[in-house]
Structure 1
Amino acid sequence: MRIAVFIKKTTFHKGYGGIETQNKSLCEGLTKRGHEVFVFSPKLELDRNSIVENGVRYIFVSCAFKMDGFFGERNKDNWFTRSAQRFEEEHAKQPFDVVIGQSSAAVGVIKRKWELNIKVVSVAHGTIISEYKTFLNNMVGLREWIKIVSNTGYVLKSFFSRQREYVHGSEKVVAVSNFVKSALVDETFVDAQKVEVIHNGVDGGARPIQAHPNNQPLKLVYIGRLERSKGLQNLLKAISRLNNVTLSVIGDGPYLPQLARLVKSLHLSERLIFVGRVAPEKIPEILSQANVFVYPSLRYEGFPMAVVEAMFCGLPVIASNIGGISDALENGTTGYLVKSGIIADLRDTIREFVNKPDLIRKMGDAAYAKAQREFNLDTMLSKYEKILEDVVK
Structure 2
Amino acid sequence: MKIALVSDWYYPKIGGVASHMHNLALKLKERGHEVAIVTNNWETGKESELAEKGIDLIKIPGVVSPVLDINLSYGLKSSEELNEFLHDFDVIHSHHAFTPLALKAAKAGRIMNKATLLTTHSISFAHDSRLWEALGLTIPVFTSYLKYPHRIIAVSKAARAFVEHFTDSPISIIPNGVDDKRFTPLRNKEELKSRLGIEGKVVLYVSRMAYRKGPHVLLNAFSKIEDATLVMVGNGEMLPFLKLQAKFLGIDEKVVFMGYVEDNKLPELFGIADVFVLPSVTAEAFGIVVLEAMAAGVPVVATSVGGIPEIVKENEAGILVPPGNELALRNAIQRILTDQKLREWYGSNGRRAVEEKYSWDKVVLKIEKAYEEVLLSK
Normalization by structure 1: what TM-score?
A: 0.82
Whether 1:42 and 2:25 are equivalent positions in the alignment is no
Whether 1:388 and 2:360 are equivalent positions in the alignment is no
**Per the alignment, do residues 158 and 232 of structure 1 end up closer, same or farther by CA in structure 2, a change over 3 Å counting?**
farther
Displacement of 1:158 in angstroms is 9.5
Which residue of structure 1 aligns with residue 193 of structure 2?
Answer: none
Which residue of structure 2 aligns with residue 54 of structure 1?
Answer: 53
Whether 1:203 and 2:179 are equivalent positions in the alignment is yes
Displacement of 1:346 in angstroms is 0.3
**Per the alignment, do residues 84 and 262 of structure 1 end up closer, same or farther by CA in structure 2, a change over 3 Å counting?**
farther
The 5-angstrom pairing of residues 361-380 of structure 1 reads 361-380=344-363
Displacement of 1:237 in angstroms is 0.4
Unaligned runs of 5+ in 2: 191-198
Displacement of 1:279 in angstroms is 1.7
Which letter maps to 2:171?
V
Displacement of 1:156 in angstroms is 5.9
Which residue of structure 2 aligns with residue 103 of structure 1?
Answer: 96
Displacement of 1:178 in angstroms is 0.9
Which letter maps to 1:43?
N
Partner Cα separation in structure 2 for residue 313 and residue 233 of structure 1 = 25
* Equivalent residues of 2:7, 2:94 under 8 A apart: yes
Which residue of structure 2 aligns with residue 25 of structure 1?
Answer: 23
Partner Cα separation in structure 2 for residue 26 and residue 66 of structure 1 = 26
Which letter maps to 1:117?
N
Deviation string, structure 1 residues 113-143 (Cα, Å, up to 9, x no partner): 4542323100011235658x9xxxxxxxxxx
Whether 1:88 and 2:83 are equivalent positions in the alignment is yes
* Equivalent residues of 2:301, 2:321 under 8 A apart: yes
**Per the alignment, do residues 317 and 91 of structure 1 end up closer, same or farther by CA in structure 2, a change over 3 Å counting?**
closer
* Equivalent residues of 2:107, 2:149 under 8 A apart: no
Displacement of 1:55 in angstroms is 2.2
**Aligned to 2:290, what secondary structure does the other structure show?**
helix
Partner Cα separation in structure 2 for residue 371 and residue 166 of structure 1 = 34
1:247 to 230, 233, 241: 230
How much identity, in percent, do the aligned residues show? Answer: 26
Partner Cα separation in structure 1 for residue 307 and residue 256 of structure 2 = 28
Whether 1:272 and 2:255 are equivalent positions in the alignment is yes
Comparing 39-48 with 24-33, greater Cα deviation is found at: 39-48
Unaligned runs of 5+ in 1: 134-154
Partner Cα separation in structure 2 for residue 48 and residue 383 of structure 1 = 25
Which residue of structure 2 aligns with residue 118 of structure 1?
Answer: 114
The 5-angstrom pairing of residues 148-297 of structure 1 reads 160-185=139-164, 187-188=165-166, 190=168, 194-204=170-180, 205-207=183-185, 217-297=200-280
* Equivalent residues of 1:101, 1:123 under 8 A apart: yes
Which residue of structure 1 aligns with residue 194 of structure 2?
Answer: none
**Aligned to 1:110, what secondary structure does the other structure show?**
helix
2:291 to 308, 313, 318: 308
Comparing 328-337 with 22-31, greater Cα deviation is found at: 328-337
* Equivalent residues of 2:315, 2:350 under 8 A apart: no
* Equivalent residues of 1:222, 1:248 under 8 A apart: yes
Normalization by structure 2: what TM-score?
A: 0.85
Partner Cα separation in structure 2 for residue 329 and residue 172 of structure 1 = 27
Deviation string, structure 1 residues 93-130 (Cα, Å, up to 9, x no partner): xx210100112333223334454232310001123565
**Per the alignment, do residues 45 and 210 of structure 1 end up closer, same or farther by CA in structure 2, a change over 3 Å counting?**
closer
**Per the alignment, do residues 157 and 54 of structure 1 end up closer, same or farther by CA in structure 2, a change over 3 Å counting?**
farther
